A and B are shown apart, each in its own frame.
Chain A
Amino acid sequence: MRVGVVTFPGSLDDVDAQRAVRVAGHEAVALWHRDHSLQGVDAVVLPGGFSYGDYLRCGAISRFSPLMTEVVAGAEQGLPVLGICNGFQILCESHLLPGALIRNDHQKFVCRDQRLRIESTASPWTSSYAEGQEVVVPLKNGEGCFVADQDTLDELEASGRVVARYLDVNPNGSMRDIAGIRNERGNVVGLMPHPEHAVEEGFGPGTDGLGFFTLVEALVG
């Protein structure tokens, strides 16, 4: 498969995400935020970083980049889209996912190897995991506190749209320990931790993150 990785001004983890895509056996296609074409890719990753310096709100300006118009249109047609960290923030700002990410409740940047439980496998991004599987991937954020109103949280839980939950500690104050969510269809996933940093032995805490990039059932839908 051809998996596009979007670079915004201020993206940091785009090259790591491209590498993860290749390690998973796919072709990584570099996409530029100002382009108007997705170049026919089969899936898109919005990587971590500090696009536009996190000015205004994290992801708020990136949302209006020309390529995001294409990503939003594609996502509505079922294109698999994974937003990691800053990418998750962009997906929320784009209204592809509900809720928002605000400053960590303890006000400090956090960087740690984080244990997660995979809660939903009903997405091409998580279908290679088993439900309830525990994984360890790096987490690094300053504004990773997931918030939404109680009705939205209840709806996310009831419809099985919580993709991953923090274990051991809640590193940023996220409501209900939510680390990642998906849209109703399952093609769009937002995740605060960084699976792209855990795809190769010797680099990071292991290879638990690789499963997010295998995309075994991505062509369904």
Chain B
Amino acid sequence: MARVVVDVMLKPEILDPQGKAVQGALPRLGFEGISDVRQGKRFELEVGDVTDERLAEVREIASTLLSNPVIEDFEVHVEETAK
């Protein structure tokens, strides 16, 4: 078994009000010096074997459903999971 992770982030030029809200809360908690916060999404897809075909399929899933290419970018990577 393996885990394929898809990270989805708003494109840099897209306003992220949620990230801004988080950033705004930090000084109130005493955390200074964080100049920006961006909030994204992480998807963990459990798959059998990681093959090129499987990864291509995950990329298709990421680009059609998990992300909206108009406003978001995504990255795919494989994480080994315990047997």
Binding site for B on A (CB under 8 A): 56-57, 60-61, 64, 92-93, 98-100, 102-107, 145, 147-149, 173
Pull 11 A–B residue pairs with CB atoms less than 8 Å apart, ordered by A. Answer: A56-B65, A56-B66, A57-B68, A92-B70, A98-B70, A99-B70, A100-B70, A102-B14, A107-B20, A147-B15, A149-B13
How many residues of chain B get a CB closer than 8 Å to chain A's CBs?
Answer: 13
Judge whether B18 and A103 touch: CB under 8 Å: yes
Q: How far is the CB of A95 from chain B (nearest CB, A)?
A: 9
Task: Name B66's closest neighbour in chain A (CB-CB).
Answer: A56
Binding site for A on B (CB under 8 A): 10, 13-15, 17-18, 20-21, 65-66, 68, 70-71
Q: How many A-B contacts if CB must be within 8 Å? A: 37
Q: How far is the CB of A52 from chain B (nearest CB, A)?
A: 12
Judge whether A148 and B70 touch: CB under 8 Å: yes
Q: How far is the CB of B51 from chain A (nearest CB, A)?
A: 25
Q: How far is the CB of A49 from chain B (nearest CB, A)?
A: 19
Write out the residue numbers on chain A whose beta carbons fall within 8 Å of the beta carbon of B70: 92, 98-100, 147-148
**Which of B13, B18, B20, B68 is the most central at the interface, judged by chain A CB atoms within 10 Å of its CB?**
B68
Write out the residue numbers on chain B whose beta carbons fall within 8 Å of the beta carbon of A105: 15, 17
In the assembled complex, the Cα of A147 lies from the Cα of B16 at a distance in Å of 12
Write out the residue numbers on chain A whose beta carbons fall within 8 Å of the beta carbon of B17: 102-107
Q: How far is the CB of A37 from chain B (nearest CB, A)?
A: 24
